[in-house]
Structure 1
Amino acid sequence: MSFTPATWPRRLRSQEWYGGTSRDNIYHRGWLKNQGYPHDLFDGRPVIGILNTWSDMTPCNGHLRELAEKVKAGVWEAGGFPLEVPVFSASENTYRPTAMMYRNLAAMAVEETMRAQPIDGAVLLVGCDKTTPSLMMGAASTDIPSIVVTGGPMLNGWFRGERVGSGTALWQMSEDIKAGKMTQEDFLEAEQAMSRSSGTCNTMGTASTMASMAEALGMALSGNAAIPGVDSRRRVMAQLTGRRIVQMVKDDLKPSDILTKKAFENAIRCNGAIGGSTNAVIHLLALAGRVEVDLTLDDWDRLGRDVPTIVNLMPSGKYLMEEFFYAGGLPVVLKRLGEAGMLHKDALTVSGEAIWDEVSEAKNWNEDVILPVEKSLAASGGIAVLKGNLAPKGAVLKPSAASPHLMQHKGRAVVFEDIDDYKARINDDALDIDENCVMVLKMCGPKGYPGMSEVGNMGLPPKVLKKGITDMVRISDARMSGTAYGTVILHTAPEAAAGGPLAVVQTGDMIEIDVPARRIHLDIPDEELAARLAAWVPPVPQFKSGYSKMFVDNVEGADTGADFEVLKGQRGNEVPRDSH
């Protein structure tokens, strides 16, 4: 449905720039006309900013330029005025030291882009995992009507008759190389099969998880998360999204209307059901901070405890995102949660409807991909939050990707002081370590790395792999890729670089984990722990200037989302004073 200016219930933001005959109006409007836009486009119809994270150096988002054209088509059809805006695009597979270091910078840039320009509504065109939370965070802080459309996952990878999951296969094969089970030549041949189409990771990695989180939160149209990037239905979704944002502007349907506590609770339970990435914990905590919703690690643990993991996808299971789409996608999962009393059915979505109205008729077309509850991969699939003297503010673990026999374990710590120490020693057969030990990695948190890189899923030492062992308990203040797996305890807070107890763990200390009891304990007397902490010397600051210093000086802990305090909350979208 298209709208004429007379049908709009209020004056639009964009009219502050374009509506009128003043010198400033002519300045803004006249320059844009050099692109060949006729005068009547500035007559009061909504200006829709298509915030595009396309970049040749963000390969997961490499097809978004074409997708943006379909969004534009939808906006034109609905009577809007689409203008494409390139925004900060941080790729996990190219950015160093880690894309996570730049999530907050991207969110800041997006927020200011939205506020400072004549945008009435925004389509957030995202894909690679940090682009999804960063754009939602920026949109939440301005509270301009916004809707997410993702680029979709890659098609299945295949190698010698077996599915190859992006990321997951990389970790498996690199371990097989060290164990002598695979040759380097085979590894290089398999590389060609890992990424055979445009799109994000085809596993339930962080990109697919965050696409699912956007849909579960109500910020994307129903069914968006799983459509493959090269499927024609992905382009249809983009066009429908373009149509929908125009009506959202007319209705003044804003992120604050959608991102309620109920929406976050729905997303947390959904994350458990899909076996989603631990990275979702940090991103949703940060997003909640932007809309001033009280969300904590305790909410993650409370809401996820009884949620079975029913999506049989790598890294927790067998299949890939392509099969998830064919089986019915996220609407089927949300319907299952609703039937089990685990969904706030009245939560509002960008469609203008309640989430239950969107999913109640969803059909499951493959019960080996989306499993019955009695066949779930994990009966308690939600993120487990462990606390104790080693992690007073919490640490997280993904039970669906961990080994059941290690859920209660006590072992001798083998400590790596930082990632360089780990790399220097892990392949040495003289390293005093066996499968019963607990690998501990320090200085990889938000301040320590900096940026909290995805190194928490430390590869096992070759001497252990050659014994046929494929998992050990690993503890760090780092993150891990959503495509990774294993009994990996992450996000330990406070982090080592901030003087958390992790900083003073020593090789030979005994560490006990008890996941059912949600406990992580460094087995030394309280007095000794206090003495070690009192004697601890903070690391010498690595950075003297630039964004790196800004990041390290301002980033908060993983337990609250690793955002900047100065960026929390909503600052609105008031138009800045015109300077012309």
Structure 2
Amino acid sequence: MTFTPAKWPRKLRSQEWYGGTSRDAIYHRGWLKNQGHPHDLFDGRPVIGILNTWSDLTPCNGHLRELAEKVKAGVWEAGGFPLEVPVFSASENTFRPTAMMYRNLAAMSVEEAMRGQPIDGAVLLVGCDKTTPSLLMGAASTDMPSIAVTGGPMLNGWFQGERLGSGTHLWKFAEAIKAGKMTPEEFAEAEQSMSRSTGTCNTMGTASTMASMVEALGMALSGNAAIPAVDSRRRVMAQMSGRRIVQMVKDDLKPSDIMTKQAFENAIRTNGAIGGSTNAAIHMMAMAGRVGIDLTLDDWDRCGRDVPTIVNLMPSGKYLMEEFFYAGGLPVVLKALGDGGLLHKDALTVSGTTIWDEVKDAKNWNEDVIRPVSNALTEQGGIAVLRGNLAPNGAVLKPSAATPSLLKHRGRAVVFEDIDDYKAKINDETLDIDETCIMVLKNCGPKGYPGMAEVGNMGLPPKVLRKGITDMVRISDARMSGTAYGTVILHTAPEAAAGGPLAVVQNGDIIELDVSARSLHLDIADDELQGRLASWKRSHEVPVSGYAKLFHDHVEGADTGADFDFLKGCRGSAVGKESH
């Protein structure tokens, strides 16, 4: 039976390519028919683009081709026409200088792939850290009906009878090697245990955090965030999402209908409750900018400050993503937020219903993994936004991953001008540093690195580690992995490479940190600080060509999401003119 346009309330976007009998329509249909598609697939059936970030060089997303087949099945079942589209895939563990440098490039490519091709809706197949925000940013820029499907976390790691968190234990074991508490042979043996199945990091790192953010925003079906990559229910989720996107196209349910200010506030509070990655702040502000929502660091502090961390997962806690899923996953967290008056219950989701309708009956099956508020992991979770003369535009810290005794600290600065300077000095036994000092790393922000690499969680010097010290206050304009931990102050803005105050900190300066007061202060006179800034000269290398130049010239600061200045706002999905 022919599928006719009469079933749809309006002319579909794809019909601008495939509808009618004009030369251009025959041109578009005819070429695609070489794949063996029957003629009636072009007669008003919604075309669903499955935007797939699979790549052999993105191991977290290595199973997404299989998931794409389940999405296709769902689209077919609902009366749609699925077409798989490969899009830019920025792998966290392979891209140099850092995957973050390519998030905006990926978002641009996704946006133009959606706008320039005959699709009516999109399923966003994501997983590895930057693939999630980049695809959501691109979809928000076109405002085309879209739904996210995450690849899911890998299975728990186990080593010598202990849970092994991907990333988190990498940092711990690297420090143990320097402290002489672990042998290189044991480190190598642990390597395979860290990655024992396909999927993203099994900790509450950036990938799991962003999967949770997408679900809390309402841009994925309820329960999407935590299902392990190899669990059969992950494939069911993919198929159900394929079904759902067809109805979303019929209803014209767009990202701008879902990604509202209230939805972002829900996500910020969720980040606090799960002990999520500091990277979420940058990505969420960039995503908000694409739908024209003014989301600031002040919103992060206002919404996240009084949210207790109730998810007991590494790096803040004990368990891993498998246990989180078995305990009930993100719906349990959202229900707890709603019960505590911390959720905008009427926020719309891709399901077509409110977020509260989706989670109000969620059950908690393990109260040590997802704790009651009365037994929270930390009473003050979220991301603390610090300001002061050292960070006039803000800096961030994750209290749940920090050492409580260091949250108020005064110490002498030990300065590293860039990451190469740090590497050259940190293992030197003559370095004038002890555990009371504050380590300061410059020129690792968006412009400085370039791309703002995850180097902010600087490893401690061996002579401090040998004392049994495992944490010190560290300050930089860099990021850190969501799997990392410690009293680490990040995203200091303006960055050093842009002439921010961080650029003029000197060895021996006294720095004061007071997280409860949200203060980060360089203890020198104002006139001295202004004098140093006036005489500052740029030291980082400025690219002169290629994407690196585009990035350097147009990237904004971490405090606004590090997006390109010319990509703010929604540009829509207008079809455009024929070129032949």
Q: Please confirm whether the aligned pair reaches a TM-score higher than 0.5, indicating the same fold.
A: yes
Q: Any idea what the Cα deviations from partners look like across 1:380-399, whole Å, max 9, x if unmatched?
A: 10100000000000000000
User: 1:349 matched to which residue of 2?
Assistant: 349
8 Å CA contact 2:3–2:44 kept in 1: the answer is no
Matches within 5 A, 1:151-162: 151-162=151-162
Residue type of the alignment partner of 2:260: T
Per-residue CA deviations over 1:199-248 (Å, capped at 9, x if unaligned) read 00000000000000000000000000000000000000000000000000
Distance in 1 between the 2:343 and 2:277 partners?
20
What stretches of structure 2 of length at least 5 have no aligned partner?
A: none
What residue is the counterpart of 2:500 in the other structure? 500
Give me the whole-angstrom Cα distance separating, in 2, the residues matched to 1:58 and 1:305: 34
Alignment of 1:63-102 (within 5 A): 63-102=63-102
Q: Deviations over 1:269-322 (max 9, x none)?
A: 000000000000000000000000111000000111110000000000000000
- Tell me by how many angstroms 1:15 deviates: 0.1
Q: Deviations over 1:358-409 (max 9, x none)?
A: 0000000000000111221110101000000000000000000000000000
1:415 matches 2:385: no
Distance in 2 (alpha carbons) for counterparts of 1:33 and 1:99: 37
Number of the residue aligned with 2:279: 279
- CA shift digits 1:58-88 (9 cap, x unpaired): 0000000000000000000000000000000
1:463 aligned residue: 463
Q: CA RMSD in A?
A: 0.8
The residue aligned with 1:440 is 440
**Structure 1 residue 23 displacement after superposition:** 0.5
Question: What SS does the aligned partner of 2:301 have?
Answer: helix
- Give the letter aligned to residue 97 of structure 1: P
For the residue of structure 2 that corresponds to 1:386, the secondary structure is strand
Correspondence 1:31 to 2:31: yes
Q: Secondary structure at the match of 1:147?
A: strand
- Give the partner amino acid of 1:318: K
1:363 matched residue in structure 2? 363
Deviations 1:78-123 (A, max 9, x none): 0000000000000110000000000000000000000000010000
Counterpart of 1:385? 385
Q: Which letter does structure 2 place at the counterpart of 1:104?
A: N
The share of aligned pairs that are identical, in percent, is 83
TM-score by length of 2: 0.99
2:185 corresponds to which residue?
A: 185
Letter in 2 for 1:509: D
1:337-378 deviation line (CA, Å, top 9, x unaligned): 000000000000000000000000000000000011122111
Shift of 1:449: 0.1
CA distance in 1, matches of 2:576, 2:95: 33
**Would you say the 8 A contact 1:4–1:79 is kept in 2?**
no
User: Aligned runs of 1:2-151 on 2, under 5 Å?
Assistant: 4-151=4-151
Asked whether the 8 Å contact 2:3–2:43 carries over to 1, the reply is: no
What is the letter of the counterpart of residue 351 of structure 1? S
Q: Distance in 2 between matches of 1:575 and 1:267?
A: 32
Structure 2 Cα separation of the partners of residues 540 and 323 of structure 1: 44
- Tell me the distance in 2 between the aligned counterparts of 1:144 and 1:105: 19
Q: Matched residue of 1:289: which SS?
A: helix
Cα distance in structure 2, aligned partners of 1:119 and 1:505: 52
CA distance in 2, matches of 1:162, 1:278: 26
- Show the 5 A alignment for 1:197-208: 197-208=197-208
SS at match of 1:73: helix
Query: 1:78 & 1:192 partners in 2: Cα distance?
Result: 41
- How many Å apart are 1:540 and its aligned residue? 5.3
1:5 CA displacement: 2.4
In structure 2, what is the equivalent of residue 337 of structure 1? 337
Q: What letter is aligned with 2:188?
A: L
Could you tell me how far 1:192 is from its partner in structure 2?
A: 1.2
Q: Within 5 A, what are the aligned runs for 1:387-402?
A: 387-402=387-402
Hey, what's the Cα distance between the residues in 2 that align with 1:493 and 1:373? 33
SS at match of 1:185: helix
> Mean alpha-carbon deviation: is it higher for 230-239 or for 536-545?
536-545
Contact 1:3 1:78 in 2 (8 A): no
Matches within 5 A, 1:510-521: 510-521=510-521
Q: Distance in 2 between matches of 1:463 and 1:71?
A: 53
Runs of 4+ in 1 over 2 A off after TM superposition: 2-5, 539-542
Name the structure 1 match of 2:555: 555
CA distance in structure 2 between the partners assigned to 1:471 and 1:405 by the alignment:
10
Question: Counterparts of 1:396 and 1:129 in 2: how far apart (Å)?
Answer: 19
Determine whether 1:322 maps to 2:322.
Answer: yes
Give the partner amino acid of 1:498.
A
Distance, in Å, in 2 between the alignment partners of 1:53 and 1:279 is 20
Distance 2:482 2:189 in 1: 24
| 8 Å CA contact retained: 2:497, 2:540 | no
Structure 1 position 3, deviation (Å): 6.9
- Give the whole-Å Cα distance in 1 for the aligned partners of 2:498 and 2:569: 24
The amino acid that maps onto 1:440 is: V
Amino acid at match of 2:201: C
Equivalent residue number for residue 256 of structure 1: 256
C-alpha separation between the residues in 2 aligned to 1:213 and 1:541?
35
Residue 542 of structure 1: how far off its partner (Å): 3.0
Q: 1:379 to 1:180 in 2, by over 3 A?
A: same
TM-fit CA distance, 1:541: 3.8
Which amino acid in 2 is paired with 1:294?
Answer: D
Matched positions, count: 579
Contact preservation (8 Å) 2:511, 2:520: yes
For the 8 Å contact 1:312–1:318, the answer to whether it is kept is yes
